[in-house]
Chains A and B, each alone.
Chain A
Amino acid sequence: MKLPLKYNVKSLFVRRGNTLMTVASIALVVLVFVGVLAMASGLSLSLRASGNPLNVIVLRDGARSETESAFDKERQRAVQALEGIATDVGGQPLASAELVTLQIFQRADGKESNVSLRGLGPAGTALRPQFRLTGGKMFEPGRGEVIVGERLAQRFPRLRLGERVEFGRLEFHVVGVFTTGGSFDSEVWGAMEDFGNAFRREDVSSVLLRAATPEGVEALVARVEGDQRLRLQAKPEIEYYADQTTATAGQFVALGSGLAVLMALGACFAAANTMYAHVAARAQEIGTLRALGFRRRGILGAFVLEAALLGLVAGVCGAVLALPLNGMSTGTTNFVTFSELSFTLRTSPAVLLQGVALAVVTAVLGGLPPAWAAARRPITALLRETG
């Protein structure tokens, strides 16, 4: 015969104050864990949203990011003349030669960060279908105009719509705000030639290509890397951003896991304490149950279940506490590109579930020794105990 679940639920209520304190301490552990994971998840979402499955990015051999990459326009033109690149309605190849530079700007909190300035070729926005303007108008090449990513505008007071900003040795006018839903939202976009003039740069950082067909992506990569004269490397754009995700979000995941293990260990002790108290208070009750014919195994199961319930309640409480973090916006530096990357925290279902799972595991681990102790004691000893 099994003990009904109701028995466990009710017994958690009997020692309400005690249960509540333990729930609160485990819930806080869940809150911290979910918070850090939400940062990692928001960060990787922002980077992953930047790649398009048909796009191929071309960089200088050996460079890990567009910031480090630079090559001359002769090689850039050779890349754009390669076979297998999709064309637009006018028959022009869908390729954008881009110049990415960094400039220091002050954040709203008074500290400084490197901001990515991206000079695009004419096809630059067509290659990024998620692109749309949310305010103002599109920049026109040759007129010293730029548009800024939505997130950047929030974090950098000098990079807002209507502001005049110096980039390099020229003054630019912020004429629009845009979003792509990805890491580009932390960049300033303008025409490649304009940024070239401002920074006296004759070269380009990268070329973004659109493959004509999904099967053509690999072929295009092979064509760039196979050309010994180019000394360039090509990567599917998705892969380029996935590598940055591992490098950047990995730090947060490691931090979150380290914190979780330590905090959960502390909470484990607390759960054990609570469950020991529950067991001690019910010695007579357990003895009676055993006398009535309930097995040791049943008693053990009942107390483990009770601990699991405690953890579940705590996990759900912690997850609910963490919900307001969703959508909170913050930023860090992507150390692969060495530039500002703003993102919003994402308490996705997967992240919340991980939090709840941590709480249940913590409580069950803490509850096992007391449950074991309860099941092992002889009936006579249990019945002899006073309240």
Chain B
Amino acid sequence: MGKLAWRNLLRNKRRTVLTIGSVATALLLLSLLMSILAAMERAEGSADNRLVVRHAVSLTFDLPEAYWQKLQPLQHVQASTPLDWFGGTYKDDRPQNFFAQFACDPATFRTVWPEYRFEEQEYAAFAAERTACVAGAALAAKHGWKVGDRIVLKGTIYPTDLELVLRGTYTEPSAPAAEKQILFHRQYLQESLGNPGTVGTYWLRLDSPQSIPAVVQTAEALFVNSSAPVRVETEKAFQLSFLEMLGNIRMLFGAIGLAVIVSILFMVANTLAMAARERTREIAILKTLGFRRPALMTLVVSESMAIGLCGAVLSLLLAMGLLGGLGRFIEDFFPVFGSVRLTPAVGATVLALGAVIGLVTGGFPAYDAARLRIAEGLRRLA
């Protein structure tokens, strides 16, 4: 029986290939969309015990430097560090030259982000020099930077340009997106601005995730009646808030995905209907020979399942190939997000969808085949 299903698939090779092709392209599109969405929602590299403290009104307002001394002694806070988003331009405005630039405090940065891996000598050189910077390994590789290179960042948010010297690189295996940043001295930025004494955000590392509610409450209460009230949230919530600003991406992708699935259903159902029409007489003959309904239904459905699954596997292979190159392009384009890659969950979903497509589209002809009256089937012209 399996052999017969196989032969049926090969009977009209061109048709089978075309159908698998349309299933594969449609599922490829779905797997790309799902991978992008997954990358967006993963909030890569966010530790569940890190909090960010920012101005309650919005990120365009800074906090006083004096807040640090009040935040550090709070109960459950193990480490804290200030961090500023510089947001300048490197070379030009093009999206491929965009990357995250942070002004940090080298003495305390690593107490809050212990997962960043530095060469100790390089980090020491970075910490010792006011205009030094360190870059993520991926970013340095992309721009071909070597230790000792000068990197000029033109200020857009801040009215100052910075001339930095690269003193080292770092890796962060759990968050490839973090390797696309550059870190430099907050002190250098402050001095070139005339020491305004302001900080964009403070980051706190807590003793455990269970302390989050208590720390959020006490930290917010600390500054509630001051000139700069704060908002305290988890690193993950902070990252996701940028995604939320984009609007209802999930719904947009969902609607597109649905249209794609319905569209494949039409295509495959169409092909299978053509195939089934050709075979009415054969099925009648098989019935005459004593094959039972379940066997005949299996025959028809296994053919459509094979098409659906072949399409799914092909689409996953293509997606894996494409995401190598395309993923980088997507990340350049939507720079706030993590790395786009094919996750096992996406792979499993696409395979399941392939099977479902096979089952649904094969279902109708299979039902027809099972119901077919032998005499009628034999009489029909192929």
Q: Which residues of A contact B264 (CB under 8 A)?
A: 25, 266
* Residue from B159, B262, B273 in contact with A61 in the complex, judged by beta carbons closer than 8 Å: B159
Q: Which residues of A contact B333 (CB under 8 A)?
A: 251, 254
**A22 on interface, CB distance cutoff 8 Å:** yes
Q: B60 and A67: CB pair below 8 A? A: yes
> Contacts A31-B259, A62-B155, A251-B333: A18 and B25 contacting too (C-beta < 8 A)?
no
Most B CB within 10 A of own CB, among A101, A251, A259, A269: A269
Report the minimal beta-carbon distance from A343 to chain B, rounded to whole angstroms: 10
Instruction: Tell me, in angstroms, the Cα distance from A273 to B268 when the chains sit together.
Output: 10
**B18 on interface, CB distance cutoff 8 Å:** yes
Q: A22 and B270: CB pair below 8 A? A: yes
* Residue from B15, B57, B155, B227 in contact with A103 in the complex, judged by beta carbons closer than 8 Å: B57
Q: Which residues of B contact A254 (CB under 8 A)?
A: 333
Q: Mark B331-360, 1 if CB is under 8 A from A, else 0.
A: 001100000000000000000000000000
Instruction: Tell me, in angstroms, the Cα distance from A32 to B244 when the chains sit together.
Output: 22
Instruction: Tell me, in angstroms, the Cα distance from A345 to B175 when the chains sit together.
Output: 36
**A109 on interface, CB distance cutoff 8 Å:** yes
Most B CB within 10 A of own CB, among A21, A101, A112: A21
Interface segment out of the listed B125-133, B245-253, B285-293, B297-305: B245-253
Report the minimal beta-carbon distance from A94 to chain B, rounded to whole angstroms: 27
* Residue from A36, A63, A101 in contact with B58 in the complex, judged by beta carbons closer than 8 Å: A101
Instruction: Tell me, in angstroms, the Cα distance from A259 to B269 when the chains sit together.
Output: 23
Instruction: Tell me, in angstroms, the Cα distance from A266 to B359 when the chains sit together.
Output: 20
Q: A263 and B248: CB pair below 8 A? A: no
**A68 on interface, CB distance cutoff 8 Å:** yes
Q: Which residues of A contact B154 (CB under 8 A)?
A: 62
Q: Which residues of A contact B241 (CB under 8 A)?
A: 112
**B66 on interface, CB distance cutoff 8 Å:** no
* Residue from B25, B256, B270 in contact with A273 in the complex, judged by beta carbons closer than 8 Å: B270
Q: Mark A92-131, 1 if CB is under 8 A from B, else 0.
A: 0000000001111000010111100000000000000000
Q: A113 and B245: CB pair below 8 A? A: yes
* Residue from A259, A276, A330, A333 in contact with B256 in the complex, judged by beta carbons closer than 8 Å: A259
Closest chain B residue, CB of each to CB of A110? B244
Instruction: Tell me, in angstroms, the Cα distance from A60 to B193 when the chains sit together.
Output: 14
Q: Which residues of A contact B18 (CB under 8 A)?
A: 269-270, 272-273, 276
Q: Which residues of A contact B245 (CB under 8 A)?
A: 112-114, 332-333, 340
Q: Which residues of B contact A63 (CB under 8 A)?
A: 156-157, 159
Q: A32 and B334: CB pair below 8 A? A: no
**A359 on interface, CB distance cutoff 8 Å:** no
**A14 on interface, CB distance cutoff 8 Å:** no
Q: Which residues of A contact B111 (CB under 8 A)?
A: none
Q: Mark A320-340, 1 if CB is under 8 A from B, else 0.
A: 000000000011110000101
**A224 on interface, CB distance cutoff 8 Å:** no
Q: Which residues of B contact A350 (CB under 8 A)?
A: none
Q: A266 and B263: CB pair below 8 A? A: yes
* Residue from B93, B161, B270 in contact with A21 in the complex, judged by beta carbons closer than 8 Å: B270
Q: B266 and A25: CB pair below 8 A? A: yes
Report the minimal beta-carbon distance from B230 to chain A, rounded to whole angstroms: 12
> Contacts A25-B267, A101-B58: A267 and B159 contacting too (C-beta < 8 A)?
no
Q: A32 and B26: CB pair below 8 A? A: no
Instruction: Tell me, in angstroms, the Cα distance from A270 to B307 when the chains sit together.
Output: 14
Q: B259 and A332: CB pair below 8 A? A: no
Report the minimal beta-carbon distance from B252 to chain A, rounded to whole angstroms: 8
**A143 on interface, CB distance cutoff 8 Å:** no
Q: Which residues of A contact B234 (CB under 8 A)?
A: none
Number of residues from A at the complex interface, CB < 8 A: 56
Q: A273 and B159: CB pair below 8 A? A: no
Q: Mark B186-216, 1 if CB is under 8 A from A, else 0.
A: 0000000000000000000000000000000
Q: A28 and B22: CB pair below 8 A? A: no
> Contacts A32-B256, A270-B270, A330-B247: A168 and B22 contacting too (C-beta < 8 A)?
no
Instruction: Tell me, in angstroms, the Cα distance from A60 to B333 when the chains sit together.
Output: 27
Beta-carbon contacts under 8 Å, A294-347 to B: 330-333, 338, 340
Q: B15 and A274: CB pair below 8 A? A: no
Q: A102 and B58: CB pair below 8 A? A: yes
Q: A25 and B157: CB pair below 8 A? A: no
* Residue from B58, B59, B93, B259 in contact with A28 in the complex, judged by beta carbons closer than 8 Å: B259
Q: Which residues of B contact A62 (CB under 8 A)?
A: 154-156, 159, 161
Q: A269 and B259: CB pair below 8 A? A: no
Instruction: Tell me, in angstroms, the Cα distance from A112 to B231 when the chains sit together.
Output: 13
**B28 on interface, CB distance cutoff 8 Å:** yes
Q: Which residues of A contact B334 (CB under 8 A)?
A: 251
Q: Which residues of B contact A384 (CB under 8 A)?
A: none
Q: A266 and B25: CB pair below 8 A? A: yes
Instruction: Tell me, in angstroms, the Cα distance from A202 to B78 when the chains sit together.
Output: 37
Report the minimal beta-carbon distance from B313 to chain A, rounded to whole angstroms: 16
Q: Which residues of B contact A262 (CB under 8 A)?
A: 25-26, 28-29, 32
Instruction: Tell me, in angstroms, the Cα distance from A168 to B229 when the chains sit together.
Output: 9
Q: B61 and A29: CB pair below 8 A? A: no
Q: Which residues of A contact B274 (CB under 8 A)?
A: 18, 273, 277
Instruction: Tell me, in angstroms, the Cα distance from A332 to B334 when the chains sit together.
Output: 14
Closest chain B residue, CB of each to CB of A264? B25
Closest chain A residue, CB of each to CB of B161? A62
Q: Which residues of B contact A330 (CB under 8 A)?
A: 247-248
Instruction: Tell me, in angstroms, the Cα distance from A169 to B263 when the chains sit together.
Output: 54
Report the minimal beta-carbon distance from A116 to chain B, rounded to whole angstroms: 10
> Contacts A263-B263, A332-B246: A199 and B57 contacting too (C-beta < 8 A)?
yes
**B81 on interface, CB distance cutoff 8 Å:** no
Q: B248 and A168: CB pair below 8 A? A: no
Q: Which residues of B contact A267 (CB under 8 A)?
A: 22, 263, 267
**A365 on interface, CB distance cutoff 8 Å:** no
**B260 on interface, CB distance cutoff 8 Å:** yes
Q: Which residues of A contact B176 (CB under 8 A)?
A: none
Q: B156 and A168: CB pair below 8 A? A: no
Beyond the given A32-B256, A62-B155, A266-B24, please list 4 additional residue pairs across the A-B interface where CB-CB is below 8 A. Answer: A21-B267, A25-B264, A104-B56, A104-B231
26 of the cross-chain contacts (CB-CB < 8 Å) are A22-B266, A28-B263, A29-B263, A32-B260, A64-B156, A101-B57, A102-B57, A103-B58, A112-B244, A113-B244, A168-B57, A199-B57, A200-B227, A259-B29, A262-B25, A262-B28, A263-B29, A266-B21, A266-B23, A266-B267, A267-B267, A269-B19, A270-B18, A273-B19, A331-B247, A338-B59
Considering the complex of A and B, which 7 residue pairs feature the smallest CB-CB distances, nearest first?
A: A266-B25, A21-B270, A333-B245, A269-B22, A332-B247, A270-B267, A28-B263
| B-binding residues in A (CB < 8 A) | 17-18, 21-22, 24-25, 28-29, 31-32, 35-36, 60-64, 67-68, 70, 101-104, 109, 111-114, 168-169, 199-200, 251, 254, 259, 262-263, 265-270, 272-274, 276-277, 330-333, 338, 340, 387
